[in-house]
Structure 1
Amino acid sequence: QEASSLLPVAALVDAFKGSPLPAGLRVLDAAAAPGGKTTALASWVASAGGVVVANEPNASRSKALVDNLLRTGSMPWVAVTQLDARQCGSRWPEEFDAVLLDAPCSGESLTRRGEPISERWDQAQEKISALAHLQQKLVSSAFEALRPGGVMVYSTCTLNIHENEGVVAFLEETYKDAVERMPLLELPGTERMQTPDGYLRCWPQLSDTQ
């Protein structure tokens, strides 16, 4: 994974800057494999005696996640689960101080790896619409697992607005005043990623990353 994959973790950590971390900090990584973000989150919560619940429903990806956590020595601060992430909110209502949802997506930014652009950008609209619908369910579930006053970061590795801004708009429309957008203007190193409407967009051609 590239350095940009840790940007969502940096945004989450930055949201807690300036105040002591809650004792026993509880963080949900709702779609955790292969584990790079989980490892970074574990390092963060360790100082507060916290725990990261790393959720990955796919059995083979969950094994890779555990292998990576063992390799990096992160397991003392991580509990691994295999729940369908659409059920996180009903299983753990308002349980977490922070939630990271790096959602399954169409992966348009992966063209930087050399994959043909046509295979990513010419995807049928039906596929993108289906993914956006899934992401809406995932983001709703993740939000319902968040305690009042908690912080959630939503991210993807794709470029179209349907799977990004569109999903955030859905969350805001669904939960109204319960959602408050947090500014990202002071997040170090993101000056070229800032958008006028308050999002971060990591364009491959500008940042030399996915």
Structure 2
Amino acid sequence: MKKHEINPAHTETRFLAENGFLTALAPLLGAERDAFEATYAQPPTIGLRVNTLKLSAAALRDRLTPLALAPVPWCAAGFCIDASAASPADFSLGKSPLHAAGLYYLQEPSAMAVAEVLAPQPGERVLDLCAAPGGKSTHLAALMQNQGLLVANETVPGRAAIVAENLERWGARHAIITSETPARLAARWPGFFDRVLVDAPCSGEGMFRRLLADGARVEWSAGQVAGCALRQMDILAAAALLLRPGGILVYSTCTFNLDENERVIARFLQSHSDFELAALPVVPGWAPGLGPLAGQPGVARLWPHRVAGEGHFLALLQRRPTTETPPPTRRALSAGRPGRAAQHAWETFCAANLVAEPSGTLLQTGTYLYQTPKPTLDLAGLRVLRPGWWLGEGRGERLEPSHALALGLTQADFQRTLDLEPDDPAVMAYLHGEALTAPGAAGWLAVCVDSFPLGWGKRSGGTVKNHYPKGLRVTGASHK
């Protein structure tokens, strides 16, 4: 068979050859083309990232023994799962009670590089402009140690709801979740953020191996790439307005072509003289930029034949400092302050069920009660899913606690808990939505797995009524 001729039996690579994807990439790969094409005969890389808001990487690794885990070089909380040494049961990690408790996020390793490069610090103002499904937002929250302000934005409301779900399970307490266009946010909050992440919507070439492994036919075209590049330029223009002078911007995609990567950044730099590329950390296996950014600092390609992962592009930029005074950013209005009934319901709930009331500023929206991060922002007129940490819903003189409240606390924060071992059948019964039997004092309690909260229960007469959210419940046969 001639060099680069696709074996018809290899249906995965035949799809990619038919639509012109491999031919388009050939000039970028050069002598590495065969090695790149060979990755499509290999299974996708499976990775997980530990939630360091809740436990250390070593502590989770001990809990997942004997699962074979290899460290991700560029992420201290990240691991690759050795598929050759794993059993089929190991790949139900997304259905594990430990996952439901928010102890880890399933993420392919090259995607873990993005938040690490942005490197947000506790107390900073950080924006994830294209946040869905929320994996990188959870990573940012962990690096920020739940301190400062994290705004996770996703234009499509349904996808923004997935971001909210992931941040809720993660235990993020300092996040605001919006569903707005980048342009509207830029008009509202110019020059406000210390760091901005643009994980841009793209043609997703780095997802092809996973899609093919799932039996999906890849749809790709040069026209799709061109359309993505235009949209990416618009998003970057808005991101530039949102960043303060001296701030850091990371642009990333999970695609390989020049048009959505180096050419986008090159055009951006030509039209934004106040931005420059900043030096990236040196990581073995990361390849330099190509095309118009060949030899430039601040650009890296993570190819799947060079590193463990499905592939990513990264560009690290900094807005040059200036002595000009940035335009003022409107702050939150006082209209969101809780009424007396909501304030009383919250204080009464905390006194009866928690060891101490979590400190912070309260905000009421309708019947819902939140704790807002600092600094506060004016959210009036914007599409906002969560204006802060959701605490619960006021129902007259009482508060119905939220799932987010349970997942944002530790076992030590509750007056009453029901702690179960991971292999206890009662854990899966709880995740199914079933009531549990456990003697003890009446009232709200945290149902925990291995000392980590899973959600709420309410005990009366030795029966714990299940308050695990219906939309999260595991379907299937009872595990009692």
Q: 97-106 or 163-172: which moved more?
A: 163-172
Say whether residues 1:32 and 2:131 are aligned partners: yes
The SS at the match of 2:176 is strand
Equivalent residue for 2:227, pick from 130, 142, 151: 130
Structural mapping, 1:26-105, within 5 Å: 26-46=125-145, 49-74=147-172, 76-105=173-202
Aligned in 2, Cα 1:43/1:109: closer, same or farther, shift over 3 Å? same
User: What's the CA shift string for 1:105-160, capped at 9, x where partnerless?
Assistant: 0001112215289835xx33222111100000001101110000000000000000
Cα distance in structure 2, aligned partners of 1:99 and 1:129:
24
Q: Quick check: 2:127–2:193 contact (8 Å CA) kept in 1?
A: yes
SS at match of 2:302: coil
SS at match of 2:206: helix
Of 105, 108, 112, 1:6 maps to 112
1:209 is aligned to 309
How far 1:40 sits from its partner (Å)?
1.4
Question: Do the aligned partners of 2:128 and 2:196 also contact (CA within 8 Å) in 1?
Answer: yes
- Aligned pairs, number: 195
Q: Secondary structure at the match of 1:28?
A: strand
Q: SS where residue 276 of structure 2 aligns?
A: coil
Which region of structure 1 is more displaced relative to structure 2, 80-89 or 127-136? Answer: 80-89
| Distance (Å, rounded) in 2 between the aligned partners of 1:208 and 1:118 | 23
**Structure 2 unpaired stretches of 5+:** 1-106, 289-294, 311-480
Identity of aligned residues (%): 36
Q: Decide whether the 8 Å contact of 1:100 with 1:152 is kept in 2.
A: yes
Cα distance in 2, alignment partners of residues 58 and 90 from structure 1: 19
Structure 1 or 2: larger strand share? 2
Distance 1:39 1:92 in 2: 22
Alpha-carbon contact 1:105-1:156 (below 8 Å) kept? yes
Q: Which has the higher contact order (CA 8 A, sep 6+)?
A: 1
CA positional deviation for 1:6: 1.7
Residue 234 of structure 2: SS of its match in structure 1? Answer: helix
Extract unaligned runs of 5+ from structure 1.
none
The alpha carbon displacement at 1:59 in A equals 1.6
| RMSD over aligned Cα atoms | 2.0
**1:46, distance to aligned residue in structure 2 (A):** 3.1
Deviations 1:159-186 (A, max 9, x none): 001101111111101111x0121011x3
Give the TM-score normalised by structure 1: 0.86
The 2-side partners of 1:37 and 1:167 are apart by 21
More helix by share: 1
